[in-house]
Homo-oligomer: A and B are copies of this chain.
Amino acid sequence: MKLYTLKTEIDAVPVADDFIAIEAPRPDCPDGGIVARVIYLSLDPYVGSRLRGRHMGEAPPKPMEGAIPGAIVGQVVKSRAAGVSEGDFVHAMEGGWQEFAAIPAGHFRKLDPKSAPLRAHIGVLGMPGLTAWAGITQLAKVMAGDVVLIDAAAGAVGGTAGQIARIKGASKAVGIAGGPEKCRLVTETYGFDACIDYKAEGWQAALKEALPEGASVFFENVSAEMAMTALSVSQTYVRGVLCGLADAYQSSGPAPHALNAGAIIGKRAQLRGLVVYDFYSRWDEYAAEAAAWIRDGKLAFAEDHADGLDQAPALFAKLMRGANVGKPIITVSEEQA
């Protein structure tokens, strides 16, 4: 089978040329686990960091050997797991850029193909969606009347976070995104009240104008510097979710990640660090709730889709440049083989 791996160890933001396809034997089925035919492959910003050994202490894949990590939706072709049969659909975080993936016991979830489109489990019902839900409902505890500010709002996490905030009663959701096309997605598809284009001149004044009452919640996906901008247009007692530092995932220089303690004290801010791993045990609960929102037309999602595993390197490089609009998804094989 085909598998994409790193050509060599890398120390900079990955580009398409860092990846190479190799032939590998189809994996054996682990005790209590499964082998899945990969249908959809997720490309996510944190992988850019992980490939350089900079994400949560997780090792990068071995060059010319290990598959590039990535979440998948797949169909079981071999099962040694109780209650799982050939033909069942599954979601797994450690699937990888390959045609078939061996998933150990406890590292996959069975999916109900009738509850929502299968590919939704890559994005809005997948890790980005769970992250958004955890930050908005479990950490910030958004409620009626909250005014929510979210950056990287065109991304799968940010776009879902704003929609969930509105579903949970927020009176206003303001996004920050890069460029008019992304901002249109944020307001037109995701239904935010406003979106500020941070690549436009005077965007900080525009942000202030869009939030005359100040944000009561901010959801940070980009950088410590952006978090401090969010703090500056926030109300006293603002609750801030520190979710991600995409700028650092996508850049090679040293990232200071510096939050200003004096500003946090002055604003009486509450900041909480979010790691989505902590919420994996609640994934089925979230996916069931959000699948109903999708069916009811309350929760929209956008994809930047490409067909075929061979498209992964280029689509990943596009993500690293921030040029994608919508969640990057690779269709590796057909839903029905």
Known: A267-B273, A268-B273. A262 touches B248 (CB 8 A): yes
| Surface stretch bound by B, among A209-217, A253-261, A287-295 | A253-261
What separation, in Å, do the CA atoms of A244 and B262 have in the docked complex?
8
**Binding site of A, secondary structure by majority: helix, strand, loop or mixed?**
mixed
- Counted per complex, copies of this chain come to 2
A271-312 toward B: CB 8 Å interface, digit per residue (1/0)? Answer: 111110010000000000000000000000000000000000
Interface size class of A (residues with CB under 8 A): 20 to 34
- Minimal beta-carbon separation of A30 from chain B (angstroms): 28
Listed residue (A262, A268, A270) with the most chain B CB atoms within 10 angstroms of its CB: A262
- Minimal beta-carbon separation of A131 from chain B (angstroms): 12
Write out the residue numbers on chain B whose beta carbons fall within 8 Å of the beta carbon of A278: 268
Write out the residue numbers on chain B whose beta carbons fall within 8 Å of the beta carbon of A56: 266
6 A-B pairs closest in CB distance? A258-B258, A265-B273, A257-B261, A224-B261, A259-B259, A264-B273
| 22 residue pairs from A and B, CB less than 8 Å apart | A220-B261, A223-B261, A224-B261, A242-B265, A245-B261, A245-B265, A257-B260, A257-B262, A257-B263, A258-B259, A258-B260, A259-B259, A259-B261, A259-B264, A265-B273, A265-B274, A268-B272, A269-B271, A270-B270, A270-B271, A270-B272, A270-B273
